[in-house]
């Protein structure tokens, strides 16, 4: 198996691209995919500061690595979920990454903001842990970005993540979620920063290969609460389709983005206002985060 670009021995085969690459050419391929995502969706400019949400995993640290190498002004944001040893290790990975590259890392604890860590939130709400966790992360990413003057937050969602999310939304015809399925969400309110996903063109396997070749030390273990999550099931289904028909995930996601997403955009704009408690954006009087915090404080 030879590299498509230089003809030397390849280290990775990408069946959906009908190509194989040596290590240097794969790294350049990976960076080019990120560059194209940023260019096509005008995610951010070199004059803007970018807040990169990092979890300690291969995707977010790989994204941060690319943006640093490309010369963007970045800071990392690690949200400490308080999930036992998993959070201890993932935080350490992020801190070591930032220290080695001499880049800023902001650390915010969910327990400090909500009143309890994710395991306690799970018990209090009696809802799937991903529910309270996801709500807290979205809220805190936006708030921290505003407080520190970042106009945009970049996350490490890859092709597999985005295809699985779309699959779940279509399976249940969650039409309110489909317009938000995008690699770049614009700011629709002065207190909402832009959210972008520069890895959406790259698969999980490609992100793992990039991290390995770049010698990025990342946490390998999945979140202990991820077991049984429907998103994992959707990923497994799509991976079986990908094995049988390379490019299936790409075709599914990109077909939606290019041909179908616009059909689900709402004709009327959603009315946004500021939460009377915290001042962040909500569609009601009190935002979901403040309601969650109240529920946690009443039970603890």
Name the β-bridge partners of 49: 73
What is the pTM assigned to this prediction?
Answer: 0.94
**How many Å apart are CA 266 and CA 247, to the nearest integer?**
30
Which residue has 């972008």 as its token pair? 196
Secondary structure (3-state) at 44:
coil
**Structural domains in the chain?**
27-268 (3.40.50.620)
* 276: number of Cβ within 10 Å: 12
Predicted local confidence at residue 228, as pLDDT = 81
Predicted local confidence at residue 269, as pLDDT = 63
Nearest CA-CA partner of 243 in 15, 21, 20 = 15
Predicted local confidence at residue 268, as pLDDT = 52
**Cβ burial 205-243 (10 Å sphere, 16+ → b, else e):** ebbbbbbebbebebbeeebebeeebeeeebbeebbebbe
φ, ψ at 80 (rounded to 5°): -80, 110
Residues 235-251 have pLDDT tens digits of 999 999 999 999 999 99
Nearest CA-CA partner of 36 in 77, 70, 10 = 70
Reading the chain (300 residues) residue by residue, the pLDDT tens digits are 999 999 999 999 999 999 999 999 999 999 999 999 999 999 999 999 999 999 999 999 999 999 999 999 999 999 999 999 999 999 999 999 999 999 999 999 999 999 999 999 999 888 888 888 999 999 999 999 999 999 999 999 999 999 999 999 999 999 989 999 999 999 999 999 999 999 999 999 999 999 999 999 999 998 998 888 889 999 999 999 999 999 999 999 999 999 999 998 875 567 899 999 999 999 999 999 999 999 999 988
């Amino acid at each position: 198996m030879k590299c498509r670009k230089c003809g030397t021995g390849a280290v990775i085969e990408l069946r959906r691209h009908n190509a194989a690459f040596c290590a240097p050419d794969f790294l350049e391929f990976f960076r080019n995919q990120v560059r194209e995502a940023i260019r096509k969706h005008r995610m951010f400019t070199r004059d803007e500061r970018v807040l990169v949400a990092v979890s300690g995993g291969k995707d977010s640290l790989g994204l941060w690595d690319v943006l640093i190498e490309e010369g963007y002004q970045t800071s990392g944001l690690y949200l400490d979920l308080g999930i036992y040893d998993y959070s201890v290790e993932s935080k350490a990975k992020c801190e070591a990454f930032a220290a080695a590259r001499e880049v800023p890392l902001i650390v915010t604890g969910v327990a400090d903001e909500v009143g309890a860590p994710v395991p306690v939130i799970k018990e209090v709400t009696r809802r799937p842990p991903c529910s309270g966790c996801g709500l807290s992360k979205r809220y805190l990413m936006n708030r921290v970005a505003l407080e520190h003057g970042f106009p945009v937050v970049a996350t490490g969602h890859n092709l597999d993540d985005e295809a699985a999310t779309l699959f779940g939304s279509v399976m249940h015809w969650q039409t309110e979620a489909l317009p938000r399925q995008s690699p770049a969400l614009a700011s629709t309110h002065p207190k909402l920063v832009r959210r972008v996903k520069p890895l959406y063109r790259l698969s999980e396997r490609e992100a793992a290969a990039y991290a390995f070749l770049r010698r990025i030390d990342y946490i390998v273990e999945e979140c202990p609460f991820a077991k049984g999550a429907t998103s994992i099931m959707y990923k497994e289904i799509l991976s079986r389709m990908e094995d049988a028909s390379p490019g299936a995930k790409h075709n599914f996601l990109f077909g939606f983005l290019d041909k179908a997403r616009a059909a689900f955009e709402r004709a009327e704009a959603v009315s946004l206002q500021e939460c009377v408690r915290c001042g962040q954006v909500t569609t009601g009087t009190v935002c979901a985060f403040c309601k969650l915090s109240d529920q946690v404080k009443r039970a603890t």
